[in-house]
C-alpha cells in the first residue's frame, strides 16, 4: 500500500474513533433523559457501503452489532468481518432469504406473512431458530417497506405460530422528510404499539427490541423509547456508492 493510501485509512480510522465517542455520549445522554442506563441501548452500526477494514476498526473500538441492508453486499463482506453480531436491516426478497439465514442473528425487516413463511421454511432447513423484528410502515408511506399499523396485530398472530421463528420486537423508519416534531410523534406511536403488544403476552412474541432512530435522530428515538438505534453515516461518514 502506498503511503498516501495508508494515510487516508488512518484518517478515516481516526474519524470513526471520534464519531464513535460522540455517539456513545449521545446515547448515554438520551438514556439518562429517559431514566435508563446506556447499557440498555444497543448501538447497531449500519455498514452499507463501508469497507470491511473500516468496519473491523469500529469493532475493535467496541461496536458489537452491525447491520447490512443488501444481501449481495452482506455475503461478499461476511467472511471479512471480525467477530461481531451480524443482522439484516434492509428490504428482503423471499428468494434471497436462503443466502443469509446462516449468517444473521436477527432479521429486522420482516413485513409480510409471505416473507415470514419463507424465513421460517429456511430456518427449519438450517435447523436454527431465527429471531426477527416486524417492520412497521409508521409514516404510511407508499412504496415503503413495512406493515401498516392497523395490519400489525393480524401479522403478529399469523407469524407467531410459524415454526423456527421468534418475534423479538419492532422496527421502523419514519419518513425521511418529516419535521423533527413529527418524527418524534412517529417514534412515540411505535413505543405505544411496542408496549401494547408487550402487555398482551402472546406466545412466541417477546418485545425485547424496539429498533428506531438513525444518524439524524437517534437521541430523539431513545428519548421516545427505542432500545436499539441503527447508525451509519454519523459513525462512518457520508456513504460513497460505487
Ligand atoms: C442506512 C440505514 C440506516 C442508517 O442510516 P444513517 O442515516 O446513515 O444513520 C439505518 N437503518 C437502515 C434500515 C438503513 O438502511
**Ligand 1 neighbour 89 (Cβ under 6 A):** yes
Strand 130-136 to strand 65-68: parallel, antiparallel, or no bridges (unpaired)? Answer: unpaired
**Ligand 1 neighbour 26 (Cβ under 6 A):** no
pLDDT of residue 214: 98
Kindly state the percentage of the chain with pLDDT values over 70: 99
Distances (CA, A) of 198 to 121, 167, 213: 26, 11, 20
pTM here? Answer: 0.96
pLDDT of residue 12: 94
Cell of 133: 423484528
φ, ψ for residue 41, nearest 5 deg: -105, 125
CA 203 to ligand 1 center in whole angstroms: 31
Q: Is residue 213 part of a domain?
A: yes
Q: Is residue 193 part of a domain?
A: yes
pLDDT of residue 59: 98
Distance, CA of 8 to CA of 105 (rounded, Å): 33
Report the alpha-carbon angle 209-227-109, nearest 5: 45
Q: Which domain holds residue 132?
A: 2-236
**Ligand 1 neighbour 46 (Cβ under 6 A):** yes
Residues 15-37 have a mean pLDDT of 98
Q: Is residue 90 part of a domain?
A: yes
**Ligand 1 neighbour 117 (Cβ under 6 A):** no
**Ligand 1 neighbour 215 (Cβ under 6 A):** yes
**Ligand 1 neighbour 174 (Cβ under 6 A):** no
Cell of 163: 415454526
At residue 190, does pLDDT exceed 60? yes
Q: Is residue 191 part of a domain?
A: yes
Mutate to test the pocket of ligand 1, among 42, 47, 69 (most ligand atoms within 8 A of CB): 69
Mutate to test the pocket of ligand 1, among 16, 214, 235, 241 (most ligand atoms within 8 A of CB): 214
- DSSP H or E stretch at residue 153: helix 152-160
**Ligand 1 neighbour 169 (Cβ under 6 A):** no
Residue 240 confidence class, pLDDT cut points 50, 70, 90: confident
Q: Is residue 242 part of a domain?
A: no
pLDDT tens-digit readout, 143-170: 999 999 999 999 999 999 999 999 999 9
Kindly state the percentage of the chain with pLDDT values over 90: 94
Q: Is residue 118 part of a domain?
A: yes
**Ligand 1 neighbour 91 (Cβ under 6 A):** no
pLDDT of residue 1: 57
Closest C-alpha residue for ligand 1 atom 6: 232
Q: Is residue 8 part of a domain?
A: yes
pLDDT of residue 75: 98
pLDDT tens-digit readout, 37-78: 999 999 999 999 999 999 999 999 999 999 999 999 999 999
Q: What is the CATH number of the domain that holds 209?
A: 3.20.20.10
**Ligand 1 neighbour 232 (Cβ under 6 A):** yes
Atom of ligand 1 nearest to the CA of 48: 1
Cell of 68: 447490512
CA 114 to ligand 1 center in whole angstroms: 24
Structural domains counted in the chain = 1
Q: How far is CA 28 from the centre of its chain?
A: 19
Distance, CA of 28 to CA of 12 (rounded, Å): 24
Amino acid at each position: 500500500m502506498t503511503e498516501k493510501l495508508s494515510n487516508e485509512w488512518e484518517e478515516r480510522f481516526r474519524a470513526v474513533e471520534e464519531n464513535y465517542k460522540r455517539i456513545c455520549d449521545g446515547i448515554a445522554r438520551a438514556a439518562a433523559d429517559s431514566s435508563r442506563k446506556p447499557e440498555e441501548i444497543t448501538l447497531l452500526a449500519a455498514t452499507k457501503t463501508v469497507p470491511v477494514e473500516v468496519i473491523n476498526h469500529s469493532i475493535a473500538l467496541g461496536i458489537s452489532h452491525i447491520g447490512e441492508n443488501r444481501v449481495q453486499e452482506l455475503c461478499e463482506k461476511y467472511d471479512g468481518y471480525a467477530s461481531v453480531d451480524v443482522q439484516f436491516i434492509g428490504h428482503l426478497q423471499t428468494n434471497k432469504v436462503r443466502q443469509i439465514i446462516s449468517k444473521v442473528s436477527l432479521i429486522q425487516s420482516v413485513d409480510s406473512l409471505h416473507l415470514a413463511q419463507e424465513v421460517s421454511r429456511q430456518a427449519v432447513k438450517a435447523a436454527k431458530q431465527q429471531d426477527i423484528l416486524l417492520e412497521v410502515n409508521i409514516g404510511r408511506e407508499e412504496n415503503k417497506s413495512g406493515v401498516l399499523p392497523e395490519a400489525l396485530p393480524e401479522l403478529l398472530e399469523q407469524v407467531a405460530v410459524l415454526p423456527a421463528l421468534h418475534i423479538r420486537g419492532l422496527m421502523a423508519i419514519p419518513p425521511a422528510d418529516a419535521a423533527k416534531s413529527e418524527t418524534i410523534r412517529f417514534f412515540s406511536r411505535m413505543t405505544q404499539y411496542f408496549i401494547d403488544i408487550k402487555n398482551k403476552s402472546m406466545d412466541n412474541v417477546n418485545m425485547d427490541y424496539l429498533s428506531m432512530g438513525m444518524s439524524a435522530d437517534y437521541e430523539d428515538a431513545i428519548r421516545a423509547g427505542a432500545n436499539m438505534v441503527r447508525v451509519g453515516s454519523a459513525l462512518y461518514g457520508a456513504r460513497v456508492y460505487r
